[in-house]
Amino acid sequence: MRATPSPRWILAWAGLLLAGLGCVLDEMDPTGKACDETHPCPAGYNCRTVSGIQGCAPGLADGGDGSDGEDDGDGADGADDGGPACSPDEARCRADGLALERCDAEGSGWNEVVCGAGSYCLAPPAGAPACVAQCDEPADCPTGMYCDPADSRCELLGDCTPLGEVRCNNTFTRLMICDPLSHLELVQEDCAGDGGYCDPWDVSCKPYCDHDADCAAWTGESCDQGERKCVSMGLCTSDSDCAGSTGCHLEGTDGVCLEQPTVEATTSSDPVEPSAMGCYVSEPVQPSATPATCNVEGLVTEFFSRAGTPDTVGLTVRVHRQEAVLDGELGQSLQAFQADAGANGYGHYRFVDLPTNTELVFEVLARPGTVVPLVYGFARLLTFGVYLNADECGDASGELSLSLPAIYQDSYDGYADPAGLADTDPAKGVVLAQAKDCDGARIWHAVGGLSLPHEHFFYLDPQPAVPNVDLTETSQNGWFGAANATPIRGLVAAWALSAGLPVSLWLRPVRVFPGSASLVLFEKPNHPRAK
């Protein structure tokens, strides 16, 4: 097949010719120097015409008669400057496979013998080319070849393995199969041509998604709205779904793979105070239906210490129905409030008439930091699973005090890169969780985990409270988390050993968003759901 010069090469050559650099090129590289019959190219170069521009190019050229339409050095017109056109008695198949070509005794050119009806020219891996009968089955072909049913010709076997395996190509645009007949990797389905992509985890063509509902056809998958791809939430249904020493921490039909806790849960070490775990074992009482709404107000506090700070004044706080957030919807909040300076100058918010007996998500929006005036930067933080139990919503007027955490950007960056590898992925997010007992005390020796894919799992050291990827249980601050978590929906789990038995702190739903922290608080259950 004749090669087509690239446009960039043609333009570069034309520029050299038009610039009149022949005198310079004589002393340097003659490529592109103008040439003709009276101005030949130096040894090792030939005069070629490409797209109407004639100049010197390295290599051998055709003999000058131009009978193949272009001086391209392929020898197709039977006369190369560099020597004979072919080796005497050399044989080859014509490009279309319908004729055998043999070099004449003088080596001056090729003679052609057209193969008869029902035959074609075969060039086997070992042996000379020849006209042979068309094939019907693999046994009709030489070793290392197969019978192509499309044209009944023997073709070279490929080298793909394992035979019959279906996989995505390296650009995730096509579904490929290692063909058992040809041993070639062939296109089984063009995913991109159908407006989709090839999913390497669930090897198949899938359409791009915008919402989790678009992934409903694939059980246990959620929509990564950044890449618009359906991704497995990593849920388990039995211990066999979990690797290593982990088991499936199952509630209902879905679970999270977790290590077993091995040390009794405590709230202190000296003296040892066992964690109060009774509320996680007994089912919460069904709350009353009134009041139907609740006013909620409080401070916007620093994430880890939960202390009030004037830095949070001006931050925007929003509240959402949890189910909408889990589906990836943040655009339709129930209410929004810009934190004002409360009575003590700390950031303060207030929402009115929020629905009770409803799981909500509170969001503190990100704010970039500046140096002058001194304004601290915050990353977005979503607090999941706040259940406004009507029985605990204050007095008859429906008032509830609730502090909402906000996370400084530099704190977020530290959690997003817990191993200090500077590999934070801005397209992913951070999950943070804290385990507390029924009295609200932080649980020491709890074990946590999450279903959705992530890069680093960590617990927080006690002092200073920084991420440690080598710890295997919570310290006395009760914190654990995961960095570079895929921005999809999933479950977070925690359990702790109480009187020798592992007690579940209830699976909690969560969703991750790019560049954001998602906070899950394992506290006394207010939601009377069935475990």
Render each residue's pLDDT in the chain as its tens digit; 531 residues.
Answer: 333 333 333 333 444 333 333 333 334 566 667 777 677 777 656 676 554 566 776 544 333 344 444 444 444 444 444 457 899 989 999 999 999 999 998 888 999 999 999 999 999 999 999 999 999 999 999 999 999 999 999 999 999 999 999 999 999 999 999 999 999 999 999 999 889 999 998 899 999 999 999 999 999 999 999 999 999 999 999 999 998 878 999 988 999 999 999 999 999 888 899 999 999 998 888 899 988 999 999 999 999 999 999 999 999 999 999 999 999 999 999 999 999 999 999 999 999 999 999 999 999 999 999 988 889 999 999 999 899 999 888 665 678 999 999 999 999 999 999 988 778 899 999 999 999 999 999 999 999 999 999 999 999 999 888 999 999 999 999 999 999 999 999 999 999 999 999 999 999 999 999 999 999 999 998 888 644
For residues 135, 140, 141, 143, the Cα torsion angle rounded to the nearest 10 degrees is: 170
Please confirm whether the linkage preceding 355 is cis (ω < 30° from 0). Answer: no
d(CA 6, CA 369): 49
Rounded to whole angstroms, how far apart are CA atoms 377 and 364? 12
* Among 411, 362, 391, 285, CA closest to 521: 362
C-alpha 219/C-alpha 223 separation (Å) is 12
Say if strands 91-93 and 99-103 run parallel, antiparallel, or are unpaired. Answer: antiparallel
For position 246, what pLDDT does the model report?
85
Residue 326's φ and ψ, nearest 5 degrees, are -60, -30
Other Cβ atoms within 10 Å of 173 Cβ, number: 16
The answer to whether 487 touches 513, Cβ cutoff 8 Å, is: yes
The rounded distance, in Å, linking the Cα atoms of 212 and 489 is 8
- pLDDT at position 67 is 42
248-286: b (≥16 Cβ within 10 Å) or e: bbbeeebbbbbbebeeebbbeeeeeeebbbebbeeebee
Q: Please give the single-letter amino acid code of residue 159.
A: D
pLDDT for the residue 28: 52
For residue 329, give the 3-state DSSP assignment: coil
Q: Which residues contact 521 (CB under 8 A, 6 or more apart)?
A: 383, 384, 385, 433, 434, 436
| DSSP H or E segment with residue 378 | strand 378-387
Q: Are strands 429-435 and 516-522 parallel, antiparallel or unpaired?
A: parallel
Closest CA relative to residue 433, chosen from 419, 420, 414, 447: 447
d(CA 300, CA 303): 9
d(CA 312, CA 36): 79
What is the distance between the alpha carbons of residues 304 and 463, in angstroms, rounded to a whole number?
13
Give per-residue burial for 16-36: e unless 16+ CB within 10 Å, then b: bbeeebbeebeeeebbbbbbe
Q: Classify 229 as helix, strand or coil.
A: strand
152: Cβ contacts below 8 Å, ≥ 6 apart: 134, 135, 136
In this prediction, residue 461 carries a pLDDT of 94
Residues 237 and 226: beta-carbon distance below 8 Å: no
